[in-house]
Amino acid sequence: MKIAVTAANGNLGAAIVKELKTQIGAENVIAIARTPKKAEFLGVEVRKGDYDSYTDFESALKGVDKILVVSGMDTPKKRIQQHRNIIKAAEANSLNKIVYTSIVGNTTNTAFDPIINSNRQTERDIEASKLNWAIGRNGLYIEPDLEYIEQYKTKGCIWNSAGDGKCAYTSREELANAYVQMLLNDSIKYNVYNLAATPITQQELANEINKTYSTKLTYKQLSSEEYLEERKAELGNFIGTVVSGIYDGINNGSFNVASDYEKVMNRKHKLVSELIKDFKNK
């Protein structure tokens, strides 16, 4: 059985490839990357796959049985067609199964809505395909917050526009475990799963970071306008607007979702406290 992973050189793709190698052996894993050289470190066969090119994927998926599609990082309008290129190529090669990494969240009139909507469109495209399928909706990654700890320590707080809204977090390692199970377990199909921990507030996140890192962080709420301008100044207009939209969405309840992780893994998702400890101990 040959399983391909797209965007395999990215953080999530690489984590999934690593877990697949453990489960089925490197010889049965194919990494697909826009620039193959960047995926050579994975220690598996690498094939070229640019999301903009149906031809790339029609060739890359020859002899493949199943594919894990990591959601693209382009603008929402472009990524819908990019994902369709992969779905069409998977159908042309008669793959047995397609698994897609979507995202949790509901549209709540924020700047993040277009990304959620583009993911939902790809979900519909996959459901309408001729393939067996399973879809995971990722919680928000915990890693960016933990990589930002020094900045939090400098200010003595976590600051954003999330307010008292609850957010379902996850980690790339927990996601990799779930997606490999979704690929290998043929009884997991024709369903959508929220892959995340129990939702928590930003103050609860600060409390958990304090326990593990011996910090004294508090939570400071900014207005949507304040946080948007600050994120744009640091990250640029596009990314800054997207990030600001995420935290507005948390405030509006978009990411306060029930987890389906146990349905996939037969165990509960790790608590946020465990995710933080895992990150620190790496």
Question: Could you tell me how far CA 89 lies from the centroid of its own chain?
Answer: 22
Cα-trace Rg, the chain: 19
Mean pLDDT, each 10-residue run in order, the chain (282 residues): 97 98 98 97 98 98 98 92 98 98 93 95 97 98 96 96 98 98 97 98 98 97 96 94 95 96 98 97 90
Question: Could you tell me how far CA 122 lies from the centroid of its own chain?
Answer: 14
Q: For residues 246 and 253, what is the distance between their CA atoms, to the nearest angstrom?
A: 11
Position 90, amino acid: A
What is the pLDDT at residue 282? 86
What is the pLDDT at residue 97? 98
CA atoms within 13 A on the CB side of 47: 21
Classify domain 3-138+170-195+258-268 by CATH number: 3.40.50.720
Q: Are strands 132-138 and 192-195 parallel, antiparallel or unpaired?
A: parallel
- Which residue shows structure tokens 């599609």? 69
- How many residues can be counted in the chain? 282
Q: What is the pTM of this model?
A: 0.96
Position 181, amino acid: Q
What is the pLDDT at residue 113? 94
What is the pLDDT at residue 186? 95
Residue 167 is given by DSSP the state B
Domain borders along the chain are 3-138+170-195+258-268
**How many C-beta atoms lie closer than 10 Å to residue 156's C-beta?**
12
What is the pLDDT at residue 60? 98
